[in-house]
Chain A
């Protein structure tokens, strides 16, 4: 088992493109850390640098306190599961799983025992003599896992190991991996672009964008206290609603009504200097409630607004209502335009609410919604920093 420490680790390609900027991260012994972010954010590059498959151009990588920047991958004693599984097509499942043992020169009898044991853990016993071509996607995935765990490495690296599976299998394998990691207690770094996977799997999430770490912390913390607009928008599904808002006479004017600043907001804003008048307001779909089913629980007086239900998605356990709001009440601001650029289908007068399935709402209804003003996040339009959280 091992602690993996990255100190100002960076990757710049010869053509001058920097994939990873001075990344600091310490993965504790036995910890399960998720690197997550949109494609091109540098998460796979980071993983490959830990593996030794890509050179580190700056900074230092330490495993158990020893610098390993220059150590060859095979000498790092780390196993990796690839997105493509990278099973050897000319070897049987047994040979695939046993390959690392064979390279390590383990004697045959011991190796055979290890392979059997691994196959049992992963439910592959009946498949040991098959070739990868004759396996289903899920079975291949398990063989890839088997090849990683068979030699008890110091750490596991997983590069989007579930992204080639269908949705149902993915959920299944997610729990399998989770259980396996807990059982083995091996330090694991796991890369994914799927925020659900990231939320459900790891002890800690490292959210990256454009080669920089945006926030590190337990999934719940990233969800509840996002440091910036990017984190707020990436974590959670459906994504947080972003609306333009303006501070006016101690209250927020926005399309979802006039929101008196709560003490928490006031304190947070006061601690910062030069807070602009026009802000990006963020509120999660699950912050809204249908007052007919009882109000919202929170310290402050609930706020309310109405909008027309354009589309209603019933998902069984919940209902998603896509509302069109009174466009005239929306804050129009040149100043905020930049902050909203690139956000898909944003028009400033639409939002989505996640409602209790018991709500009698129907498509086309004029719906009243209530919410706790303390559930509101405010973001600086230029830097994207969450002003309602302490830096």
Chain B
């Protein structure tokens, strides 16, 4: 009946103005923290990226315009890391989607031991990434590892480019598939059981029901999960740091930026990379939201009740 509690206020009543003020006050601390600790550093890194600023040579600080960008964008190491990041992101997200969907369906449809499965599947999510990464590292270390033990003698997968990349992807996929599966399972729950029954009555096979009813209805959930995971995978750092520390050309953009900062103490170039990474992430998010119409999760502007 009161569904028209509109949001656009031309002449706000006293109550409505009080509500606005309260809303602002309540959001102010959160906004302040986010702006100070995220907004300001982003701006600051923009400034730093326009400077020659190497902590080893503090005297040589100077404004250099876009020189740092030229340096980074012509560096084969940067492009190598960029390509690797894209590769790891794309492959692991695709694998996670397929595996996660399978796990989600298994959790959702299973008739035996449902509670156990739903609980245990959370373990990889709960594990500290670094801890899991060490597990993988030792599993593939010749002599020590049970997985390395299955390989022909003399193989050291972490010291070769492609096997190392494979292990990085494996570590990423293992850790985040449960998260993906949970998001997808929530999406599965959005598909009305009656609709599936109706499809079955209409003569659809199980596979047809999945592809023609379940998947389309889950699309918003899938896109949101993909967006989440794509952006998350793009910042891959912990696994690579532990597994190879960027050796065998397995640096991601985050790893190479880290090494420029902490190893090289080169603030200018490090900041430039930060800005470039940020721009890439923004671009990916933009493509998702505009291109696929992914609803930003949790956004519900009319959500008054």
Contact = CB atoms under 8 A, between A and B. Distances in A.
A–B proximity contact (CB within 8 A)? yes
Interface of A: 13-17, 19, 39-45, 48, 54-55, 57
B9 A14 contact: yes
B4 A55 contact: no
Q: Which 8 residue pairs of A and B lie closest in terms of their CB atoms, listed nearest first? A: A15-B6, A44-B1, A14-B9, A17-B4, A13-B4, A15-B8, A13-B6, A45-B2
Contacts of B9: 14-15
Interface residues of B, number: 15
Interface string B1-16: 1111111111111011
Most buried by A among B4, B9, B12: B4
B2 A48 contact: yes
A39 B1 contact: yes
Contacts of B4: 13, 15, 17, 19
Most buried by A among B1, B4, B15, B16: B1
A14 B13 contact: yes
Given A14-B11, A14-B13, A55-B13, A19 B1 contact: yes
Contacts of A55: 13, 15
Nearest to A193: B1
Nearest to A160: B1
Nearest to A40: B1
Given A14-B13, A15-B8, A42-B1, 8 more contacts: A13-B5, A14-B10, A15-B7, A17-B4, A17-B6, A19-B1, A41-B1, A44-B2
A41 to B, nearest CB: 8
Contacts of A57: 13
Query: Mostly helix, strand, loop or mixed at chain A's interface?
Result: loop
Contacts of B13: 14, 55, 57
Contact of A43 (B1, B5, B11, B16): B1
Q: Which of A13, A17, A40, A43 has the most CB of B within 10 A?
A: A13
Residue of A14, A19, A57 with most partner-chain B CB within 10 A: A14
Contacts of B12: 14
A40 B12 CA distance: 23
A46 B6 CA distance: 18
Contact of A54 (B2, B6, B7, B10): B2
Contacts of B10: 14-16
Nearest to A11: B2
Interface in B1-55: 1-13, 15-16
A14 B2 contact: no
Contacts of A15: 4, 6-10
Nearest to A16: B10
Given A55-B13, A55-B15, A19 B2 contact: yes
A19 B6 CA distance: 12
Contacts of B7: 15
A39 B10 CA distance: 26
A325 B129 CA distance: 79
Given A55-B13, A55-B15, A14 B6 contact: yes
A382 B8 CA distance: 35
A42 B11 CA distance: 22
B302 to A, nearest CB: 12
B15 to A, nearest CB: 6
7 contacts: A14-B6, A14-B8, A15-B8, A17-B6, A40-B1, A45-B1, A48-B2
Nearest to B7: A15
Contacts of A44: 1-2
Contacts of B1: 19, 39-45
Nearest to A55: B15
A45 B3 CA distance: 10
A16 B1 CA distance: 16
B18 to A, nearest CB: 11
Contacts of A54: 2
A15 B2 CA distance: 12
Nearest to B3: A40
Contacts of A40: 1, 3
A14 B11 CA distance: 7
B8 to A, nearest CB: 5
B204 to A, nearest CB: 34
Nearest to B12: A14
A13 B11 CA distance: 10
A384 to B, nearest CB: 23
A361 B6 CA distance: 54
A227 B140 CA distance: 87
A16 B11 CA distance: 9
B109 to A, nearest CB: 27
Nearest to B8: A15
Nearest to A42: B1
Contact of B16 (A14, A39, A42, A45): A14
A16 B7 CA distance: 11
Contacts of A43: 1
A53 to B, nearest CB: 9
B198 to A, nearest CB: 25
A336 to B, nearest CB: 32
A280 B218 CA distance: 51
Contacts of A45: 1-2
A55 B13 CA distance: 10
